[in-house]
A and B are shown apart, each in its own frame.
Chain A
Amino acid sequence: MEDNNKVTPKRGFPGQKASVQATLRWQGREGGAMAFPEPKPRGPELPQKRLKTLDCGQRAVRAVRFNVDGNYCLTCGSDKTLKLWSPLRGTLLRTYSGHGYEVLDAAGSFDNSSLCSGGGDKAVVLWDVASGQVVRKFRGHAGKVNTVQFNEEATVILSGSIDSTIRCWDCRSRRPEPIQKLDEAKDGISSVKVSDHEVLAGSVDGRVRRYDLRMGHLFSDYVGSPITCTCFSRDGQCTLVSSLDSTLRLLDKDTGELLGEYMGHKNQEYKLDCCLSERDTHVVSCSEDGKVFFWDLVEGALALALPVGPGVVQSLAYHPTEPCLLTAMGGSIQCWREETYKAEDGTG
């Protein structure tokens, strides 16, 4: 656990300086030049080589999230902080503190200029990346905020809470109330995802609701078991739903039909993340037995059970373009790459 942990935060001044530079670079990378080359056509590789383990120093890491281009990641700590990392280098770039309770979820905007986070203090916070200041604090949820998402243009923050509402907060105006409150769920919201015109929400009442803004319809799919995580497939045709019956289901977005079922992992108590791999080839899910499970999306066969550690894999994030996985267990995060991966530039 401690082997790769060479970079520890709070080193002092030089480290601070480096973090500022990195922050600037983070800001400079707006929609375009990626650090990674375009993936060459090759067979899907699964990230199974542990590249790095970072002790985040923020007690339990509640969630780990990539930024929009996958160069940076955010960790939500139970010590009320949100931290921005460069996972490959293993450097801490900035710490965002201002939450009153543990931070439960975070997301970055499309232009990397702002972050949003929600936590146990029932507040949704909009952060300025560079300055680390709180830009807005949206209050109104009656319970802790489980999940937050920006919309495509980072004009709206959607937050799902255990008060069974999704609230749409306007980042443009100074209005303190949400634009709209989606209170159709009968129980807490565990997961919210946003596409360009849809809002996908999983709720503990066992339903996945998809609000289609363009059509003006609400599609509610009954899954039965409390839903822990939902996500769109990258082609936007399917939704992946994980629920507390230790099952992941791939549903057709338009009809709600079951396209695939993935079992073998263990998820009966906790809110665990699931996702699809960078090219929709595999379904990835956390498990309570300390592994990350990979299934082939089409066949539904278990492709890999990646042992991470002794605890529960609480959260994971998949790189948007590369076979790169971040997992969170306990107070640390792990960065995984494919076997053939060679460190390109001088990573620490």
Chain B
Amino acid sequence: MAALDGDSDEDLVSYGTGLELLEEGERPKKPIPLQDQTVRDEKGRYKRFHGAFSGGFSAGYFNTVGSKEGWTPSSFVSSRQNRADKSVFGPEDFMDEEDLSEFGIAPKAIVTTDDFASKTKDRIREKARQLAAATAPIPGATLLDDFITPAKLSVGFELLRKMGWKEGQGIGPRVKRRPRRQKPDPGVKIYGCALPPGGSEGSEDEDDDYLPENVTFAPKDVTPVDFTPKDNVHGLAYKGLDPHQALFGTSGEHVNLFSGGPEGANNLLGDVGVNKGRKLGISGQAFGVGALEEEDDDIYATETLSKYDTILKDEEPGDGLYGWTAPRQYKNQKESEKELRYVGKILDGFSLASKPLSSKKIYPPPELPRDYRPVHYFRPLVAATSENSHLLQVLSESAGKPTHDPGTHSRHQLNASKRGELLGETPIQGAPTSVLEFLSEKDKERLKEMKQATDLKAAQLKARSLAQNASSSRPQPSSPDVGHCSWHVALSGGTAPVRASNFKPFAKEPEKQKRYEEFLVNVKRGQKDALECCLDPTMTEWERRRERDEFAQAALLYVSSHSTLSSRFTHAKMEDDSDQVEVPRDQENDVSDKQSAVKMKLFGKLTRDTFEWHPDKLLCKRFNVPDPYPSSTLVGLPRVKRDKYSVFNFLTVPETASSPATLASSEKVPQHQGPDKSRKPSRWDTSKQEKKDDSISEFLSLARSKVGPPKQESSPLVNKEEEHTVESVSDKVNKGVDSQTEGEGSRPSMDLFKAIFASSSDEKSSSSEDEQGDSEDDQEGTREADVKGSQETDLVETLSVAQASEPAPQEPAPFFPIQKIQIDEREEFGPQLPPVFCANARQKLEAPLKEKHKKNKEKHKTKKEHRRKKEKDLP
């Protein structure tokens, strides 16, 4: 642009850089398209300049996040089947890997902060720094750093100091006299009161004599083990060339690049400490000797490779070439052993163990069955009293365990006198408490004798059986044949096929298992020496004997368990707790007092029940309401598990007090008893009971509708009569609608009977019940069912006939009743007969039919009433 008008440059203001003028014949260069102007990071990924260059959060692919499409909720789960877990994202989820690395903004590795960093660890670094300072072009540049050190001590130091520790001392109780063993290494720096080093044994002994009795010494400072991880690619223990050694050391010395670990480091330290005395200055090879230097260093030393090791091996002792890099085993072999020792106070009478403890063998926990669910069901506890003894019995039976053994008295089963006895009280001389007390002395004696005799007999029997068991199950090593007999008999007697694949007692040791299987095969063939030939010949006699025992036992066990147990038990097909139902924890309590409250118009607290109710989370979401119980997974009313046929389910029903005796005697009674009145008779309960009579009542109603209407209008009494006639038609069917409704009031529900009379053997009858719905007569059993079945088929036939002839257009009068009954039935028994509506007929019939319905209602009592109320009825 600037070049557009060259003449009037002064007048124009130009912005930006002008385009280069094109030369003749040159094709204009294509500019780099915007999408190609990219910056990439070291891994070839697009780099974006979000945030600072220290690594702000990346905003994803082409400035989107996560993917090409932008945000991808990684944890998206379709809410149709299962809901996604709520996952909380932290900032880390949006970071790159670099950010999490050591130098990123959020490093993952744990680094000791300065407060807790130990000083000793830094020694090597410190040393290196000193060395660097010494070899630096301007020596002493780091001196200042040494002088000015921040007065910062690690927490450990401070704690120790508070406890009276001084720097340079060891940790532990003070010792009376310095043990000779703790003679410091020559190279190690000695803190505190150090002995003059370098003495002979004898001289040291002399030193001991010097020590006054009352002087105690702090223990020796233990040089901590250096745990710095190896993070380079050098060989093990390679330290690199020590510049100090190379530069300041005597040039004739051998240089060892591999030293013995931390000791070497300490040596280095000591060396520098010694060298500190030397004046700092420019020195070393090739620097010449300064004017102020006293020593005449060999400044023209030449480096020769012979100074270095060419092979990795320990040097032979005694060649006198050890410097600071001497292999440690020549320095103090004993010391290394004692390095880790117990420093605390040793109790009197104890000494340090010379051998380390053998490590404990850890046995794995027993393997649980695959389907094992660690749930414990608590049986309801019922105190045994005279009133509920029956209940207790039923309970214990339902729990599958026998009533309490009278021999094992629990605390609660003792009566007062027994407790008194236990407490050593004198028994009360009042009324006798036991029948035994009425007996004369002689009788008592006799009883006692008899008891003793029986006891004795039982004991003898027991002993004998025990002996037998012992002899059979454990064959004596001296005479293995005896044992063989028993298990041979057992194995051959039990015709069960030997299937070793199922039962592997020695699965842990495949060798042994193999031997065992071999043994079984041999046994099956009937070989007498089955055991001997399959045992491992390399084993010792004792081991063989042991294994023989084991095999014999296993074989016995296997056979017995397989043949006897398996014939009696089968695998469970259903889960064990299938006989449990979930019952709402809180029930709407009794209605009777509420009814009275309603009568007195005392609405409010008396008529209100409040329950904890858990709405579904999704429902809350849809209603825009926060979940009232965000942590619970429950939905609906809180529920508890109860035994399905437990008497406890019915304890709330007042009339369940019906004593079992009457129940047992009243075989026929249930037929005439409806569900309990105190429970609000529910429409669906009754319908269940009626379902069995489905076809019968249909038949009844059809018959009624055919015959009934003219009569019905006359009076309800006639209606009743007519029903009786119908009943007589279906004579076997003694459960007419009327008798049912009449008896409805007093009969408890079927489940109660099940709870009381339930035994596992009546599966058959219960299954037939299921077919019939919850029928009333399970006492009648299958015979009844058969009769019924035949009747039903008959009835169905008549029904179909009736249906075919039913819609009679020429009879307007019975039209509505048919409708009415049909509606009832449809409601009750599902949509069998579609309603036939005719607006005109309905309008006309309305008024008179009303009256009739009311009469019907009176007659049919509550049940029918409910049924009809439901319907928004035909007007």
Question: What 1/0 flags go to A153-189 for Cβ under 8 Å of B?
Answer: 1011000001110001010111100011111101110
Q: Decide if B847 is an interface residue (CB 8 Å cutoff).
A: yes
Among the stretches A3-11, A46-54, A212-220, the one at the interface with B is: A212-220
Distance in angstroms between the alpha carbons of A296 and B533 in the assembled complex: 106
Q: Decide if A270 is an interface residue (CB 8 Å cutoff).
A: yes
Return the contact of A311 from the options B79, B594, B624, B875 (Cβ within 8 A).
Answer: B875
Point out the residues of chain B lying under 8 angstroms from A258, CB to CB.
601, 603-604
Q: Are A187 and B837 in contact (CB under 8 A)?
A: no
Distance in angstroms between the alpha carbons of A190 and B867 in the assembled complex: 12
Q: Are A218 and B611 in contact (CB under 8 A)?
A: yes
Cβ < 8 Å to B, chain A residues 113-160: 120-121, 143-144, 146, 151-153, 155-156
Among the stretches B14-22, B761-769, B838-846, the one at the interface with A is: B838-846
Q: Decide if A222 is an interface residue (CB 8 Å cutoff).
A: yes
Knowing A180-B636, A190-B870, A311-B846 touch, does A330 contact B622 (C-beta < 8 A)?
Answer: no
Return the contact of A156 from the options B623, B842, B872 (Cβ within 8 A).
Answer: B623
Point out the residues of chain B lying under 8 angstroms from A207, CB to CB.
588
Q: Are B683 and A172 in contact (CB under 8 A)?
A: no
Q: Decide if A205 is an interface residue (CB 8 Å cutoff).
A: yes
Give the nearest-CB partner of B598 in chain A. A224
Q: Decide if B827 is an interface residue (CB 8 Å cutoff).
A: yes
Q: Are B610 and A219 in contact (CB under 8 A)?
A: yes
Return the contact of A162 from the options B611, B619, B680, B870 (Cβ within 8 A).
Answer: B870
Q: Are B619 and A180 in contact (CB under 8 A)?
A: yes
Give the nearest-CB partner of B847 in chain A. A310
Point out the residues of chain B lying under 8 angstroms from A121, CB to CB.
831
Q: Are A257 and B839 in contact (CB under 8 A)?
A: no
Q: Decide if B814 is an interface residue (CB 8 Å cutoff).
A: no
Point out the residues of chain A lying under 8 angstroms from B637, CB to CB.
184, 218
Return the contact of B615 from the options A79, A162, A180, A271 (Cβ within 8 A).
Answer: A180
Cβ < 8 Å to B, chain A residues 200-215: 204-207, 211-215
Cβ < 8 Å to A, chain B residues 831-864: 831, 834-835, 837, 839, 842-843, 846-847, 850, 853-854, 857
Knowing A59-B837, A173-B79, A217-B610 touch, does A256 contact B605 (C-beta < 8 A)?
Answer: yes
Q: Are A206 and B869 in contact (CB under 8 A)?
A: no
Distance in angstroms between the alpha carbons of A196 and B626 in the assembled complex: 12
Q: Decide if A45 is an interface residue (CB 8 Å cutoff).
A: no
Interface majority SS (helix, strand, loop, mixed), chain A:
loop
Q: Are B80 and A156 in contact (CB under 8 A)?
A: no
Q: Are A220 and B588 in contact (CB under 8 A)?
A: yes
Distance in angstroms between the alpha carbons of A244 and B846 in the assembled complex: 20
Point out the residues of chain A lying under 8 angstroms from B79, CB to CB.
173
Q: Decide if A221 is an interface residue (CB 8 Å cutoff).
A: yes
Point out the residues of chain B lying under 8 angstroms from A291, CB to CB.
none
B399 to chain A, nearest CB (A): 30
Q: Decide if A284 is an interface residue (CB 8 Å cutoff).
A: no
Question: What 1/0 flags go to A216-247 for Cβ under 8 Å of B?
Answer: 11111111101010000000000000001000
Q: Are B595 and A224 in contact (CB under 8 A)?
A: yes
Distance in angstroms between the alpha carbons of A179 and B636 in the assembled complex: 11
Point out the residues of chain B lying under 8 angstroms from A283, CB to CB.
none
Distance in angstroms between the alpha carbons of A169 and B626 in the assembled complex: 19
Question: What 1/0 flags go to A234-270 for Cβ under 8 Å of B?
Answer: 0000000000100001011001111001000000111
Q: Are A197 and B80 in contact (CB under 8 A)?
A: no
Q: Decide if A60 is an interface residue (CB 8 Å cutoff).
A: yes
Q: Are A188 and B615 in contact (CB under 8 A)?
A: no
Knowing A257-B604, A330-B839 touch, does A197 contact B610 (C-beta < 8 A)?
Answer: no
Q: Are A270 and B873 in contact (CB under 8 A)?
A: yes
Q: Are A221 and B872 in contact (CB under 8 A)?
A: no
Point out the residues of chain B lying under 8 angstroms from A110, CB to CB.
none
Q: Are A228 and B869 in contact (CB under 8 A)?
A: yes
Q: Are B613 and A60 in contact (CB under 8 A)?
A: no
Q: Decide if B580 is an interface residue (CB 8 Å cutoff).
A: no
Return the contact of B622 from the options A156, A218, A223, A224 (Cβ within 8 A).
Answer: A156
Q: Are B846 and A269 in contact (CB under 8 A)?
A: no
Q: Are B680 and A205 in contact (CB under 8 A)?
A: yes
Q: Are B869 and A271 in contact (CB under 8 A)?
A: yes
- A196, A216, A269, most chain B CB atoms within 10 A: A216
B136 to chain A, nearest CB (A): 74
Distance in angstroms between the alpha carbons of A161 and B330 in the assembled complex: 97
Q: Are A270 and B869 in contact (CB under 8 A)?
A: yes
Q: Are B680 and A172 in contact (CB under 8 A)?
A: no
Q: Decide if A312 is an interface residue (CB 8 Å cutoff).
A: yes
Distance in angstroms between the alpha carbons of A205 and B866 in the assembled complex: 9
Q: Decide if B116 is an interface residue (CB 8 Å cutoff).
A: no
Question: What 1/0 flags go to B605-626 for Cβ under 8 Å of A?
Answer: 1011111111110111011111
Q: Are B80 and A173 in contact (CB under 8 A)?
A: yes
Q: Decide if A62 is an interface residue (CB 8 Å cutoff).
A: yes
Pairs across A and B, CB under 8 Å, 29 listed: A60-B874, A62-B872, A162-B827, A168-B622, A172-B622, A179-B618, A180-B615, A187-B684, A196-B624, A196-B625, A216-B612, A217-B613, A218-B610, A220-B611, A222-B609, A228-B869, A256-B603, A256-B605, A269-B868, A270-B869, A270-B871, A271-B871, A271-B872, A271-B873, A312-B846, A315-B872, A330-B839, A330-B875, A331-B839
Closest 7 CB pairs of A and B: A216-B628, A258-B603, A218-B613, A256-B608, A312-B875, A180-B616, A257-B604
Chain B interface (Cβ within 8 Å of chain A)?
Answer: 79-80, 584, 588, 591, 594-595, 597-598, 601, 603-605, 607-616, 618-620, 622-626, 628-629, 635-637, 680, 682-684, 826-827, 831, 834-835, 837, 839, 842-843, 846-847, 850, 853-854, 857, 866, 868-875
